[in-house]
Amino acid sequence: MMAERGLKIDHSTLNRWVIHYAPKLEKAFHKKKKNPGNRWRMDETYLKVKGVWKYYYRAVDKQGNTIDFLLTSKRDTKAAKRFFDKAIGRNGKPGLVNIDKSGANKAGIGLYNRDNNRRIKIRQCKYLNNIIEQDHRRVKRITRSMLGFKSFHSAQSTLAGIELIAMINKGQMKKNMVGTLSPAEQFYALAGVSRRKIKDLSCCT
C-alpha cells in the first residue's frame, strides 16, 4: 500500500506502528462492536514467544464471531479466570460456555461463578468446539510466517491487530457505525478519519 503511494518504509517501522497502534484500535473497536451471542465456544492454542510456547485463550460465539482473546504464560485455573474476567467484562455474561475436557478451564469458570455469584452453565463437548479450532488455524496461518514473536509485548500487540482485522471482516461492527462502509473504510473510521477523507482515501486504493 505504501509502495503504491510512492513511499518506501522499512518493515521495522511498520512493526513499530503495529505494536503502538494495534492495541489502541482494538480497544476502540470494542466500543463499537456488536453484542455477541450468549453461547460461547472457548479454547486455547499455542504460540511461540522467544522460542518458548505460550498459551493463547480465545472465544467465539455460535456464529463464529470473535468474543475475546488473551495471551498468557501459563495454562492453569488462574489464567482461565483472567480470560473470563476480561471477556465477560467487555462482552457481557454468556448463558453457556462450551469447553473441551480441560480441568483448568472448567475450574476457571467455576471460580468466576463463585466470586461473582453467577450461574454460567459449563458444557464439555469437544466436537462442538470445531468452530473455534478452525478459527485458531486462521491465526496460526498468519503468525506462522512471522517465525515466532521476539517479545511478549510485541506478541500481544500484533495479535490484537490480527483479531481486529478479523472482527472487521466478520462484520462485527455495529450497523449504525458501519453504514455502507467497506472493511477498509471501517478501519479508517476506527482510526478517526473523517467520512470525507475516507472517500478520498478509497479513491486512491
- Residue 164 one-letter amino acid: L
Phi/psi at 36 (nearest 5 deg)? -75, 170
DSSP bridge partners of 71:
56
pTM value > 0.75: yes
Kindly state the average pLDDT of the residues 131-144.
91
DSSP 139: H
Residue 100 in contact with residue 130, Cβ under 8 Å?
A: no
What whole-number distance in Å separates Cα of residue 82 and Cα of residue 84?
Answer: 6
- How far is the C-alpha of 48 from the C-alpha of 151, rounded, in Å? 10
User: What is the per-residue pLDDT across 167-200, written as a single tens digit (0 to 9) for each?
Assistant: 999 999 987 777 778 888 888 888 776 555 555 5
Report residue 25's pLDDT band, with 50, 70 and 90 as the boundaries.
Answer: very high
Going by C-alpha positions, the residue among 16, 39, 11 that lies closest to residue 153 is 16
Q: Is 52 helix (H, G, I), strand (E, B) or coil?
A: strand
What pLDDT is recorded for position 197?
A: 57
Examine the pLDDT at 17 and tell me if it is beyond 70: yes
Rounded alpha-carbon distances, angstroms, from residue 48 to 45, 84, 105, 140: 11, 23, 21, 11
Helix (H) or strand (E) segment spanning residue 42: strand 39-49
Report all structural domains of the chain as residue ranges with CATH numbers, in order of start.
35-156 (3.30.420.10)
